[in-house]
């Protein structure tokens, strides 16, 4: 949470699109891998474009899918 709070104060504006999504699921667990394509601008006016790999792990709880882990890295 500390890192999310830090990044929230950085003032980024932009978009995030999940491309090339692949899903695997069972009755209780699932995961998605994709490429997150981000673009935007910092407070200082610097344009940013970054493509990152992302993995999201889900668990079914009380009939709803919940995110239990999300990992990203640049490639």
Q: Is 15 strand, coil or helix?
A: strand
pTM score above 0.85: no
Count the residues in the chain: 75
Q: What is the dihedral of CA 58, 63, 64, 70, to 10 degrees?
A: -10
Q: Is 8 strand, coil or helix?
A: helix
Q: Where are the domains of the chain?
A: 2-74
pLDDT digit string (tens) for 26-47? Answer: 999 999 999 999 898 877 788 8
pLDDT digit string (tens) for 43-69? Answer: 778 888 989 999 999 999 999 999 999
pLDDT digit string (tens) for 2-16? Answer: 876 777 777 667 888
How many C-beta atoms lie closer than 10 Å to residue 58's C-beta? 19
- 2-74: CATH topology: Nuclear Transport Factor 2; Chain: A, (3.10.450)
Q: What is the dihedral of CA 2, 19, 31, 40, to 10 degrees?
A: 10
């Amino acid at each position: 949470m500390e890192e999310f709070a830090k990044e929230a104060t950085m003032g980024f504006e932009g978009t995030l699109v999940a491309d090339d999504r692949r899903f695997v699921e069972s009755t209780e667990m699932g995961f998605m891998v994709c490429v997150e394509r981000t673009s935007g601008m910092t407070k200082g006016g610097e344009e940013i474009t970054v493509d990152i790999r992302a993995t999201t792990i889900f668990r079914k709880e009380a009939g709803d899918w919940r995110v239990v882990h999300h990992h990203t890295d640049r490639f």
